[in-house]
Amino acid sequence: MIEAQPLRPYPRATTRALLGLYNLVWPLAMPALALSRRMRDGWRERVLLNGPEGPVDIWMQAASAGEAYLAEELLMALPDDKPLRVLVTSGTRQGMDILAKACEKAASKPMLATRQAFFPLDMPALMDMAMKRFSPRLMVILETELWPGLLWAARKNEIPAIIVNGRMSASSLGGYMAAGSFLRDIAPERVLAIAGTSAKRFSLVFGSDRVEEMQNIKFDRCPLEAAQPAPDAPVARILGNAAPLAIFGSVRSKEETEVVRAIARVREARPDALTALFPRHMHRLDFWAKALYEAGLPVVLRSQLTETPPAGTTVLWDAFGELGAAYGFASAAFVGGSLHPLGGQNFLEPLIHGVTPVIGPHWKNFDWIGREIIDCGLVHEVTDADALADQLIRNLNQPEPRESVRDRATRYIAERRGGTAQAAACIARYL
């Protein structure tokens, strides 16, 4: 157990004044919040009229879906040597649904008792009530939830707060630095920040003495092996004899024009190749069928196939859940959501299946994977549709051996694992 630290001096007068103003703003905003569709879901829990009672050992806050998956990893990694009561909270319905499944999974741990609730509004007075009601021994905040009311209430009630899997973008850093003295007055006890840039940014805000580097927990969630479809599975019957095969996966509507052009370029260069197109949203199927036909590209729906179609055909995929398996047959693959500022899609999936993916320049939602994956050649980044077609053609002409891609991808992920165990060990030291 970590020994109790001396209580930091009470916040300066300026910080107290800002917290007072922040507390006054909330009652003005609450009527509108209560009427909003997102916030009225779980409203009584958000204002502490309903919800679980304490005491608990750990209060773990997961902002939304992504953080909720991290909470699941942490719950399963907590020590089993003594009983632990854990409250998990989230601010969104999606996060709550994921936490519900995480709590069901955690029920397999006999020493762990979990409960969940919506995250309270960050009004300082309300957060003070929450800390007193839940009475946690430790507050665990996943990723970057620098809520002033929460941090102040934890400090006021002498409850250590730690940030786990801390991430901070360049744009966020500017705002946090502007509020530097205010944030330092209510700073968490410890920040376990993603190694590299995020850790350096947290050190600038809170001081390097509070920051410890860790690997991203998300790597612990990445599979190291891909499930292979049965030989008689539909995807295997359709694509198993297709060589070479180019896949356009998770393509978003804003990329449609560019992707049609890229498909045409690929077909022109490699008329012997088969193309499989997986739109991100099924309601765009009619558009795709029309656009490909008007571009003079042979197209057939996957639902109309029972075997491999002729070379030069584009298979328009109208079935869910088969993209991952399809990557296992590809020689080249584009992962969509990345030609425009749409956040990107999961480009580790094709890697684990042994194909080097091509992505556009916009993959903010997956920047946690690290730019090193581009630098080492495991992923190819392109700027536009023409560069995309050029790279796919190169990959079709000279595909890297599938086992080599798998081995390099597995090694990349394995070297970055271990964040969950590190975070769980840190949590255990406070209990």
Per-residue model confidence as pLDDT tens digits over 266-277:
999 999 999 999
Query: What does the block give as tokens for 38?
Result: 């997102």
* 62 phi, psi to nearest 5 deg: -120, 110
Write down the pLDDT at residue 264. Answer: 97
Rounded Cα distance between 147 and 66, Å, is 18
121 burial level (CB within 10 Å; 0-12, 13-18, 19+):
buried
Write down the pLDDT at residue 259. Answer: 97
Architecture of domain 234-414: 3-Layer(aba) Sandwich (3.40)
**Number of other residues whose CB lies within 10 A of the CB of residue 12:** 13
The mean pLDDT value for 422-426 works out to 97
Query: What does the block give as tokens for 68?
Result: 């909720």
Rounded Cα distance between 208 and 198, Å, is 12
Write down the pLDDT at residue 10. Answer: 56
Write down the pLDDT at residue 52. Answer: 93
Residue type present at position 374? I
Fold equal for 49-216+418-429 and 234-414: yes
Query: What does the block give as tokens for 115?
Result: 């409960």
The 3-state DSSP class for residue 90 equals strand
pLDDT tens digit string along 182-218?
888 899 999 999 988 999 999 999 999 999 999 999 9
CATH topology of domain 49-216+418-429: Rossmann fold (3.40.50)
pLDDT, averaged across the chain = 93
pLDDT tens digit string along 142-191?
998 899 999 999 999 999 999 999 999 888 898 889 887 888 889 999 99
Least confident of 25-29, 232-236, 293-297, 402-406: 232-236
- The domains of the chain are located at 49-216+418-429, 234-414
pLDDT tens digit string along 284-297?
999 999 999 999 99
Rounded Cα distance between 120 and 46, Å, is 4
The mean pLDDT value for 320-342 works out to 95
**Longest distance between any two alpha carbons in the chain, whole Å:** 75
Position with higher pLDDT, 144 vs 263: 263
Distances (CA, A) of 245 to 257, 338, 354: 21, 21, 13
Write down the pLDDT at residue 11. Answer: 64
Write down the pLDDT at residue 234. Answer: 86
Write down the pLDDT at residue 1. Answer: 47
Rounded Cα distance between 298 and 385, Å, is 20
The 3-state DSSP class for residue 88 equals strand
Q: Give the up-direction half-sphere exposure of residue 4: CA atoms within 13 A in the CB hemisphere.
A: 7
The mean pLDDT value for 330-353 works out to 96
Give percent of the chain above pLDDT 90.
81
Would you say 405 and 354 are in contact if contact means Cβ atoms under 8 Å apart? yes
Rounded Cα distance between 384 and 259, Å, is 10
Write down the pLDDT at residue 144. Answer: 84
Rounded Cα distance between 259 and 250, Å, is 11
Binned at pLDDT 50, 70 and 90, residue 8 comes out as: low
Position with higher pLDDT, 407 vs 240: 407
pTM flag (> 0.75): yes
Active site residues per annotation: 67
